[in-house]
A and B are shown apart, each in its own frame.
Chain A
Amino acid sequence: MLKLPIYLDNNATTPCDPRVVEAMLPYFSETFGNASSRNHSFGWAAEAAVDLAREQVAALIGADPKEIIFTSGATEADNLALKGVFEMYADKGNHIITTEIEHKAVLDACKHLEKLGAEITYLKVNNEGLPDLKELEAAITAKTILVAVMYANNEIGVINPIKEISAIAKKHGVLMMSDISQAAGKVPVDVNRDGIDLAAFSAHKLYGPKGVGALYVRRKSPRVKVTAQMDGGGHERGMRSGTLNVPGIVAFGKACELCQQEMGAESKRLAALRDKLENALLQLEQTFVNGSKTNRLPHATNISFRYVEGEALMMGFNKNLALSSGSACTSASPEPSYVLKGLGLGDDLAHSSIRFGLGRFTTEEEIDYAIQTVTETVNKLREISPLWEMFKEGADMNTIEWSRL
């Protein structure tokens, strides 16, 4: 029996896996110790649990447990990486290279650093959502300290050629940072194979709880250090003070372990469901996939339905179907998604976009329901759309004469 509403916004957040919840529960009231308490069994038990979780988290991305710094989430990890590197490597330079379609946690941290004297290069991306590697290399100067490029984009799911990008950074002795939030646990990420020096991610994107994440900081070749952004007890090798969130960290560890075990089969299952959804929706006229279709997360697709507006679409089904749109139809911010604009989409297509994010608990029955509901709503709204009528009449959409008063 189909249970409504259906959740297809797994790029925003994922539900906690029940196995993850079960793993974390004892650490609230039974094994509640402070992992820094060195003198009694409560502390030792908490520390042992954190140690195990650190191994599980590290294993997911091919890192050493000592290279994992627990944080409150990916936003904090992004901030710690960017601001921490900027401060730590101030003697070497002040230039950071990133892309204009990064997550706001990266872009806004960069904007903050600009106020403190940083030079930031925001690389443009092509219509597939990928930066030009020659442009990236050309942007490197003697003052460049960091290249920050996300592993996979949160809106379009496009996967960057991280290995190639990090090779360029390494060639010039520049550190490589990547926000791996959308990719970790979904596709194989290996910090050594991929040449990543710093990586930010969070538990709630991979079926763990909100409020916990990590920054991977490379310890060998090169040994990377970041200046702490919070002062306190010197936890996490002095890079992130604050009593460890033991239940959250335990859950994060369990969630990573489950992802690692199930990733192979799960990514195939989700890619098949995603392709079914996408192919069915592309049967509608004037419907387009945004971003590269080849280098992409298996569970994600972003589709524009031309001549209908995204918010109107969602109003049609948001009682039963949870999705998100690149459109914001308000007078305060009439700008559509900066990611889609970055791909070169016109306003009309950016405002017509819907992001689909499938997940571990998505069923084929739900996808069938989504196909039917979205198709019906698009067709219904097109009947109301003057642009659709003009298009069907063969009008030249670039030379429409608008009324003037």
Chain B
Amino acid sequence: MAYAERVLDYYNSPRNVGALDKTSERVGTGLIHVPEYIEVIRIQIEVSPARHVITDACFKTFGCGAAIAATSITTEWLKGKSIEEAAQLDHMDIVEALNLPPAKIHCTILIEDAVKAAINDYRHKNGMELLKEETEEEEEEAERDYELEEEHN
């Protein structure tokens, strides 16, 4: 399988590999693994408490090169976003940013989950209300919108 140059770039020189102090109140950690897939994705964010803006983000990923590249590019995107903006991340944005083939879409869903879990971890530590998981109907609706948009394009 030939990968897009951008995937290779992020795989060869991954940005933001590392760990933040997970016990810090300013740090949110998301560690995602589901039994259906082998990937393990960890995303951490450091948030400035005044305006809840993400000042630092880092990751570690167990998975194929595409999963590594996709997590890395996501951490770049997270920096400077407020946690509200970051929570709007749609996994298809990552797919498009790296031009991933359909077989690799599942890793971006896990990455989206890791971002949301990291935000929730921060919110929990700081006594804020947690993000809710999209219900199945909402997901289906989003999927339909996406398909319509595709047709339109």
Which A residues lie at the B interface, using CB under 8 A? 307-309, 311-312, 315-316, 327, 329-332, 334, 336, 347-348, 351, 381, 383-389, 400-405
Contacts of B8 in A (CB 8 A): 315
Interface residue? B106 (CB, 8 A)? yes
Whether B68 and A403, one on each chain, are in contact in the complex, defined by CB atoms closer than 8 angstroms, is no
Contacts of B32 in A (CB 8 A): 402-403
Whether A334 and B131, one on each chain, are in contact in the complex, defined by CB atoms closer than 8 angstroms, is no
Whether A384 and B31, one on each chain, are in contact in the complex, defined by CB atoms closer than 8 angstroms, is no
Whether A385 and B106, one on each chain, are in contact in the complex, defined by CB atoms closer than 8 angstroms, is no
Q: Which 9 residue pairs of A and B lie closest in terms of their CB atoms, listed nearest first?
A: A403-B117, A315-B65, A330-B103, A329-B64, A386-B60, A331-B106, A311-B64, A386-B42, A405-B133
- Per the 8 Å Cβ criterion, residues 76-119 of B in contact with A are 102-106, 113-114, 116-118
Interface residue? B6 (CB, 8 A)? no
Whether B3 and A308, one on each chain, are in contact in the complex, defined by CB atoms closer than 8 angstroms, is no
CA gap between A156 and B114 in the complex, in Å: 36
Shortest Cβ distance from residue B59 to the other chain A in the assembled complex, whole angstroms: 8
Interface residue? B40 (CB, 8 A)? yes
CA gap between A307 and B61 in the complex, in Å: 10
Among B3, B30, B103, which residue has its beta carbon within 8 angstroms of that of A332? B103
A sample of 15 inter-chain contacts (CB < 8 A) reads: A311-B64, A312-B68, A334-B37, A336-B38, A351-B38, A384-B68, A386-B60, A386-B61, A389-B60, A400-B33, A401-B31, A402-B32, A403-B113, A403-B114, A405-B116
Most buried by A among B8, B40, B114, B117: B40
Closest A residue to B116 by beta carbon equals A405
Among B103, B104, B120, which residue has its beta carbon within 8 angstroms of that of A405? B120
Other A-B pairs beyond A332-B103, A351-B38, A405-B120, 11, CB < 8 Å: A312-B65, A315-B11, A327-B64, A329-B64, A331-B103, A385-B61, A386-B41, A386-B60, A400-B31, A401-B31, A404-B117
Among B30, B31, B105, which residue has its beta carbon within 8 angstroms of that of A331? B105
Which B residues lie at the A interface, using CB under 8 A? 3, 8, 11, 14, 17, 19, 29-34, 36-42, 60-68, 102-106, 113-114, 116-118, 120-121, 131, 133
Q: Using A384-B17, A387-B40, A403-B29 as known contacts, say yes or no to A308 and B62 having CB atoms under 8 A apart.
A: yes
Whether A334 and B38, one on each chain, are in contact in the complex, defined by CB atoms closer than 8 angstroms, is yes
Contacts of B62 in A (CB 8 A): 307-309, 385-388
Whether A312 and B63, one on each chain, are in contact in the complex, defined by CB atoms closer than 8 angstroms, is yes
Contacts of A331 in B (CB 8 A): 37, 102-106
Contacts of B104 in A (CB 8 A): 329-331
Whether B30 and A403, one on each chain, are in contact in the complex, defined by CB atoms closer than 8 angstroms, is yes
Shortest Cβ distance from residue A210 to the other chain B in the assembled complex, whole angstroms: 22
Whether B3 and A386, one on each chain, are in contact in the complex, defined by CB atoms closer than 8 angstroms, is no
Shortest Cβ distance from residue A123 to the other chain B in the assembled complex, whole angstroms: 28
Shortest Cβ distance from residue B26 to the other chain A in the assembled complex, whole angstroms: 18
CA gap between A351 and B62 in the complex, in Å: 11
Contacts of B105 in A (CB 8 A): 331
Contacts of B103 in A (CB 8 A): 330-332
Contacts of B113 in A (CB 8 A): 403, 405
CA gap between A388 and B118 in the complex, in Å: 20
Contacts of A400 in B (CB 8 A): 31, 33
Whether A389 and B63, one on each chain, are in contact in the complex, defined by CB atoms closer than 8 angstroms, is no
CA gap between A347 and B42 in the complex, in Å: 19
Whether B38 and A403, one on each chain, are in contact in the complex, defined by CB atoms closer than 8 angstroms, is no
Among A309, A334, A384, A405, which residue has its beta carbon within 8 angstroms of that of B14? A384
Whether A403 and B61, one on each chain, are in contact in the complex, defined by CB atoms closer than 8 angstroms, is no
Shortest Cβ distance from residue A332 to the other chain B in the assembled complex, whole angstroms: 5
Contacts of B11 in A (CB 8 A): 312, 315-316
Contacts of A330 in B (CB 8 A): 103-104
Closest B residue to A403 by beta carbon equals B117
Contacts of B66 in A (CB 8 A): 329
CA gap between A311 and B29 in the complex, in Å: 26
CA gap between A400 and B35 in the complex, in Å: 13
CA gap between A376 and B42 in the complex, in Å: 23
Closest A residue to B11 by beta carbon equals A315
Whether A329 and B63, one on each chain, are in contact in the complex, defined by CB atoms closer than 8 angstroms, is yes
Closest B residue to A336 by beta carbon equals B38
Shortest Cβ distance from residue B123 to the other chain A in the assembled complex, whole angstroms: 12
Shortest Cβ distance from residue B88 to the other chain A in the assembled complex, whole angstroms: 15
Q: Using A405-B117, A405-B120 as known contacts, say yes or no to A329 and B14 having CB atoms under 8 A apart.
A: no
Closest A residue to B14 by beta carbon equals A384
Contacts of B131 in A (CB 8 A): 405
Shortest Cβ distance from residue A317 to the other chain B in the assembled complex, whole angstroms: 11
Closest B residue to A325 by beta carbon equals B64
Shortest Cβ distance from residue A356 to the other chain B in the assembled complex, whole angstroms: 20
Closest B residue to A332 by beta carbon equals B103
Shortest Cβ distance from residue A182 to the other chain B in the assembled complex, whole angstroms: 26
Whether B3 and A315, one on each chain, are in contact in the complex, defined by CB atoms closer than 8 angstroms, is yes
Whether A383 and B37, one on each chain, are in contact in the complex, defined by CB atoms closer than 8 angstroms, is no
